[in-house]
Chains A and B, each alone.
Chain A
C-alpha cells in the first residue's frame, strides 16, 4: 500500500515536471528578422523595332514560306501553300528553301537570322510564314 502510494506520487511528479520542462527542451524556432537584400534580376535593355502592318487581304499578294530544315516543316508549309492557292485569288507563293536554299538551316545566331531576313526581304514578300522551332 505504502509502495503504491510512493509510485503514484512519483508518477504525478514526473508528469508535472515533464509538462513544465517541455518548453525548455522543445526545438528552438528559427529567428525571424528584417533582411535587406539585393534583387538578383537586374534590368533589361531592348531596342524596339517597328513591326510591319499585316495586309488586310492576301488576294494578289506575295507570300513567302520559310523552313528551317527541321523535319516535316516543308511538308507542313507545302500543304499551307496548296490551301492558299486554292482559297486565295491571284496569290503568289514563294518557297524560300527553293529560291534561297542557303537559308534553309537553323540560323544559330541573331546575326545569321538578320542575314537570312535580308535575303527573304529582297523578294519583297507581303507576308512571310515561317515554320520555326522543332
Chain B
C-alpha cells in the first residue's frame, strides 16, 4: 500500500524498510528489539538506496481499450475475476453495445474526465463510469445518480484515499434525497439498505467496482481493511424516507430545495443497531442512545467527521409527537453520550491517536469527551420502514459531501 501511495504521488520508487506487524499493542522491549533487528538494514537503505523503477506509460483515456475474447459467459466471469475486474460477484460483460446504451442515461460526453481516482490515479471518464455501470447491471436512468455520487466522492474533503487504504472497516454511504428517489425506484422504506432493490444494489456495486478497478484499492494489497465488510462490495445506498420524516429532510436542512435531487456521500463504519421497543418519552429514549453510542468507537479527537443517525420512522414520530426537533436530539446526545479522557489517555494528553482538540481544552483525565467536536456534526436522517430499529454510522475519514444530481441527466 505504501508503494502504491508513493507511486500515485509520482515516486515510481521509494525507500522502504518493512517492519512486520504488530507494531501497536506490544511491549516497549519488543518494539525496541524490532528496531535493533532492522537497524543495519535501515542504515544500508539510508546511504545506499537508489531509485530504479519507472512510472507506468501514460496513454489517452478515451476511448477505453476494446479487446476480443473467445469463450462462454462463464469464461468471462473467470477472466474478469483473475484480472481483478470483479469483486467476486458476477459481472455483466461490458460490450461496446451495452456501454453505448448505458451512455444514453446522461447528456455528458463520454470523453469527459470526471475523476482521477486515488490511489492508483486511474483516469475515470464518463465512458468508464458507463462500463462499470454495465458490469454492475445498472439501468441507464441510474447514470445521473452514479455520476453525482462520483462527483461528490472526488471532493478532497470526502477523503476517498484515506478511507480505501486504511485498516479501518470503512465503506461509502450514499444517501439520496428528492423526487428522483421514487422516479428511479430507490428503496427508502422497509429494507432500504437490504437486497432486492435493483437501483440501490447495482449503484452500490458500481461505486465499489470503480474504487477497486479504476482506483486500485483492492484487498489485501492496497485496501488494508482488517476485516472488511459487505459495504466493500455493495456501498450503503438508500433514500431518505421523506414521506415518513416528521421534520425537514437532510437535504433541505443543508440548504437544498424540496424539488432538488441530491446525493450525499460519507465514509462510514458499519452501522450499529439501536432497538428501543418500549420508550414512550424522548427522555427515556435518549437514555438508550446515551448507552449505545460511545465516543470510544470513533474518538472525536482524531476523527472530525459526522455521525449519521438513521432514525426509524416510528422512533422519529415518537420524538416529534413530544415536540422534539432534530436539534433537541443532537444536543441531548452530544451532552450525554460521553466518556472520560481517562478511558483513552494515560495522562499524555492524547485521546485516541491525536492530541485533545483545542475546542475541548482545558481537560483533566476526568473530563467527559463527546462523540463529535460540535453538536452540528450529529446528522439525523429518517429512513427504513415500520419497526423499532434505528441505526447509526460512526465516521470514517473525511466529511460528508452533497451534490445535485440533475446536472448529470
For residue A6, CB closer than 8 A to chain B, the reply is no
* Candidates B2, B10, B19, B21; contact of A48 at CB < 8 Å: B10
User: Contacts A69-B353, A72-B31, A110-B161 known; A39 to B72 CB distance under 8 Å?
Assistant: no
B66 with A38: CB separation less than 8 A: yes
For residue B196, CB closer than 8 A to chain A, the reply is no
B-side interface residues, number (CB < 8 Å): 86
B123 with A46: CB separation less than 8 A: no
* Candidates A37, A41, A132; contact of B95 at CB < 8 Å: A37
A56 with B47: CB separation less than 8 A: yes
For residue B296, CB closer than 8 A to chain A, the reply is no
For residue A40, CB closer than 8 A to chain B, the reply is yes
* Candidates B21, B43, B121, B355; contact of A46 at CB < 8 Å: B121
For residue A24, CB closer than 8 A to chain B, the reply is no
How far is B45's CA from A8's CA once the two chains are assembled, in angstroms?
Answer: 86
For residue A105, CB closer than 8 A to chain B, the reply is yes
B28 with A75: CB separation less than 8 A: yes
- Nearest A residue to B167 via CB reads A134
How far is B213's CA from A73's CA once the two chains are assembled, in angstroms?
Answer: 32
Stretch of B34-42, B273-281, B324-332, B385-393 at the chain-chain interface: B34-42
For B32, list chain A residues within 8 Å (CB): 75-76, 79
For A63, list chain B residues within 8 Å (CB): 46
How far is B28's CA from A79's CA once the two chains are assembled, in angstroms?
Answer: 10
For residue B68, CB closer than 8 A to chain A, the reply is yes
User: Contacts A79-B36, A108-B162, A134-B21 known; A40 to B128 CB distance under 8 Å?
Assistant: yes
B31 with A75: CB separation less than 8 A: yes
- Nearest A residue to B59 via CB reads A43
Min Cβ gap A28→B in Å is 12
Min Cβ gap A92→B in Å is 14
B23 with A134: CB separation less than 8 A: yes
B25 with A71: CB separation less than 8 A: yes
For residue A42, CB closer than 8 A to chain B, the reply is yes
A80 with B60: CB separation less than 8 A: no
User: Contacts A54-B46, A54-B47, A129-B46 known; A42 to B123 CB distance under 8 Å?
Assistant: yes
B96 with A51: CB separation less than 8 A: no
> Digit string of A8-50 for contact with B (CB within 8 Å is 1, else 0)?
0000000000000000000000111111111111111111110
For A33, list chain B residues within 8 Å (CB): 70-72
For residue B340, CB closer than 8 A to chain A, the reply is no
For residue A58, CB closer than 8 A to chain B, the reply is yes
A57 with B47: CB separation less than 8 A: yes
How far is B68's CA from A30's CA once the two chains are assembled, in angstroms?
Answer: 18
A39 with B66: CB separation less than 8 A: yes
A73 with B39: CB separation less than 8 A: no
For residue B252, CB closer than 8 A to chain A, the reply is no
For residue B73, CB closer than 8 A to chain A, the reply is yes
B61 with A42: CB separation less than 8 A: yes
* Candidates B10, B13, B35, B67; contact of A76 at CB < 8 Å: B35
How far is B307's CA from A26's CA once the two chains are assembled, in angstroms?
Answer: 57
Give the residues from 104 to 133 in chain B that come closer than 8 angstroms, CB to CB, to chain A. Answer: 116, 118, 120-125, 128, 131-132
For A31, list chain B residues within 8 Å (CB): 72
User: Contacts A80-B35, A110-B9, A133-B2 known; A58 to B68 CB distance under 8 Å?
Assistant: no
- Nearest A residue to B113 via CB reads A45
For A57, list chain B residues within 8 Å (CB): 47
A30 with B74: CB separation less than 8 A: yes
Min Cβ gap B337→A in Å is 24
For B55, list chain A residues within 8 Å (CB): 46, 48
- Nearest A residue to B65 via CB reads A39
B47 with A43: CB separation less than 8 A: no
* Candidates A41, A43, A58; contact of B85 at CB < 8 Å: A41
How far is B156's CA from A46's CA once the two chains are assembled, in angstroms?
Answer: 17
B131 with A40: CB separation less than 8 A: yes
List 10 A–B pairs whose Cβ atoms lie within 8 Å, in order of A's numbering.
Answer: A30-B73, A33-B70, A35-B70, A36-B67, A40-B132, A41-B122, A44-B122, A54-B15, A105-B354, A106-B354
Interface residues of B (CB under 8 A from A): 1-2, 7-15, 19, 21, 23-26, 28, 31-32, 34-36, 39, 42-43, 45-51, 55-56, 58-61, 64-76, 85, 93-96, 99, 116, 118, 120-125, 128, 131-132, 135, 156, 159, 161-162, 167, 209, 213-214, 224, 302, 350, 353-355, 397-398
8 nearest A-B pairs in the assembled complex, by CB-CB distance: A71-B24, A79-B35, A49-B10, A39-B65, A30-B72, A79-B32, A75-B31, A35-B69
